[in-house]
């Protein structure tokens, strides 16, 4: 008979679904979605449901929670009281603090308190890259900007394990060498500042004086377009195509025909879209931030400092490069496959039986 496990997911994101499927192969899993991205009411009702579930159902042997945030603190404290091992996955937003960008849970007094309580009292922390534990972002600020939970939470002693994200889409049957001379970048923008965080602003600056280059932006929320047009005049740049959202199959189709994928973010964890782009054979260009250089490795170009000139130079090098796109794809398939994440995650959990 399988042990019973409670899995708390704040949203229905695909990368969390991957872990749910991994856990279902070894445990009887009850998954509670908190709908954090839908409304605060739904989110806090979801937290209450999770608390009541854990109080009245005594069969759970483990509790796993994605992200350190409001929802994590009460669930971790309740698990600790019931002597049930609890595990928190951190993914990026819960491991950074950029006050001037209002980015990171630690910019909010209450969210910061909840994250700290959760991470200090859980049994084990699971990070998708070591940078989320402790790192120094010199891409954003040459003098350095401290990131990672051990830098942000003094006295944090909870053990942590790094388990890389896994790419879950299938490798394209054909990795075409014939590509459109276009640069794709993707990033969700729930906040206006995310246009800056994801580096869309740098690419826009390049597009203004490089009509020979074509850009495709995926993930720009429609509600920001009016404000962005005032500042960046996107409507006057015919070499930029904007999609607020693309279903995954359409996004993969776009990657399959594009030459370069850019990820010039200020803050990231292990971006799945970058993995997917390289699996599709795109030449990657990315910032020297968190897991981006780890994913790109020797197969693309890393930008050391946040400036449009350096990014433009890297994009030109990528467009002129005669790399083996099949080799780029194979590197992702071999380094970040689902089996590796599955084995490492289940081996970790088995230590707490």
What pLDDT shows up at residue 284? 97
138 with 202, same domain? no
124 with 247, same domain? no
Exposed, middle or buried: residue 58 (CB in 10 Å: 0-12, 13-18, 19+)?
Answer: exposed
95 with 192, same domain? no
Widest CA span of the chain, in angstroms?
64
316 with 344, same domain? no
Burial letters 142-168, b for 16+ CB under 10 A, else e: eeebebbbbbbbeebebebebbbbbbb
In a domain, 49, yes or no: yes
216 with 277, same domain? yes
Distance of CA 55 to the CA centre of its chain: 31
In a domain, 174, yes or no: no
Q: Which of these, 123, 116, 13, 22, lies nearest to 63 by C-alpha position?
A: 123
In a domain, 171, yes or no: no
pLDDT tens string 252-279: 999 999 999 999 999 998 999 999 999 9
In a domain, 172, yes or no: no
Query: Looking at the DSSP assignment, which residues form a beta bridge with residue 272?
Result: none
Distances (CA, A) of 352 to 8, 271, 305, 344: 18, 29, 42, 14
C-alpha 331/C-alpha 11 separation (Å) is 30
C-alpha 165/C-alpha 98 separation (Å) is 24
- The predicted model gives 129-136 an average pLDDT of 96
Percent of the chain with pLDDT over 90: 78
- The predicted model gives 165-181 an average pLDDT of 84
In a domain, 118, yes or no: yes
69 with 156, same domain? yes
Per-residue confidence band for 149, with pLDDT thresholds at 50, 70 and 90? very high
112 with 185, same domain? no
Query: Looking at the DSSP assignment, which residues form a beta bridge with residue 258?
Result: 180
- The predicted model gives 78-88 an average pLDDT of 96
- The predicted model gives 86-100 an average pLDDT of 93
C-alpha 90/C-alpha 133 separation (Å) is 9
Dihedral sign computed on CA atoms, order 335, 171, 167, 201: positive
DSSP 250-311: HHHHHHHHEEEEEE--SS-SS-HHHHHHHHTTPEEEEESSTTHHHHHTTSSEEESS--HHHH
Report the number of distinct structural domains present in the chain.
2
Torsion of CA 40, 14, 344, 261, to 10 degrees: -120
132 with 216, same domain? no
- Would you tell me the crossing angle of helices 200-209 and 308-320 to the nearest 10 degrees? 70
C-alpha 203/C-alpha 193 separation (Å) is 15
pTM: 0.91
Q: Does pLDDT of 289 surpass 90?
A: yes
Domain enclosing residue 289, as ranges: 180-335
What pLDDT shows up at residue 38? 80
192 with 128, same domain? no
C-alpha 130/C-alpha 162 separation (Å) is 6
328 with 342, same domain? no
With a CB cutoff of 8 Å and minimum separation 6, the contacts of 133 are 95, 125, 127, 148, 149, 150, 160, 162
pLDDT tens string 340-351: 999 999 999 999
Per-residue confidence band for 107, with pLDDT thresholds at 50, 70 and 90? very high
In a domain, 276, yes or no: yes
pLDDT tens string 45-62: 999 999 999 999 889 999
Q: Does pLDDT of 173 surpass 80?
A: no
CATH of the domain at 159: 3.40.50.2000
C-alpha 181/C-alpha 43 separation (Å) is 43
92 with 193, same domain? no
184 with 225, same domain? yes
């Amino acid at each position: 008979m399988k042990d019973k496990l409670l899995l708390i997911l704040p949203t229905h994101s695909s990368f969390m679904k991957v872990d749910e499927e991994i856990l279902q192969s070894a445990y009887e899993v009850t998954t509670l979605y908190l709908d954090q991205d839908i409304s605060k009411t739904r989110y806090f009702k979801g937290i209450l449901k999770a608390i009541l579930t854990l109080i009245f159902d005594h069969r759970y042997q483990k509790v796993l929670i994605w992200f350190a945030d409001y929802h994590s603190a009460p669930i971790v404290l309740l698990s600790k009281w019931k002597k049930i091992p609890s595990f928190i996955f951190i993914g990026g937003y819960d491991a950074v603090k950029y006050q001037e960008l209002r980015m990171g849970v630690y910019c909010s007094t209450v969210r910061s308190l909840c994250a700290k309580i959760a991470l200090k009292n859980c049994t084990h922390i699971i990070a998708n890259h070591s940078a989320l534990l402790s790192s120094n972002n010199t891409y954003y600020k040459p003098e350095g900007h401290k990131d990672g939970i051990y830098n942000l939470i003094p006295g944090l002693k909870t053990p942590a394990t790094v388990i890389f994200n896994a790419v879950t889409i299938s490798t394209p049957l054909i990795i075409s060498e014939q590509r459109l001379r276009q640069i794709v970048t993707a990033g969700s923008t729930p906040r206006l500042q995310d246009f800056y965080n994801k580096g869309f602003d740098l690419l826009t600056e390049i597009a203004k004086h490089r009509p020979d280059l074509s850009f495709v932006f995926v993930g720009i929320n429609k509600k920001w377009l009016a404000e962005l047009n005032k500042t960046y005049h996107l409507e006057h740049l015919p070499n930029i195509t904007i999609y607020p959202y693309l279903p995954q199959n359409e996004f993969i189709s776009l990657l399959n025909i594009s030459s370069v994928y850019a990820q010039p973010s200020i803050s990231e964890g292990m971006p799945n879209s970058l993995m997917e782009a390289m699996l599709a054979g795109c030449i990657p260009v990315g910032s020297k931030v968190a897991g981006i250089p780890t994913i790109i490795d020797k197969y693309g170009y890393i930008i050391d400092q946040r400036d449009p000139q350096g990014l433009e130079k890297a994009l030109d090098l990528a467009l002129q490069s005669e790399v083996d796109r099949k080799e780029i794809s194979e590197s992702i398939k071999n380094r970040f496959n689902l089996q590796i994440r599955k084995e490492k995650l289940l081996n970790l959990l088995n230590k707490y039986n």
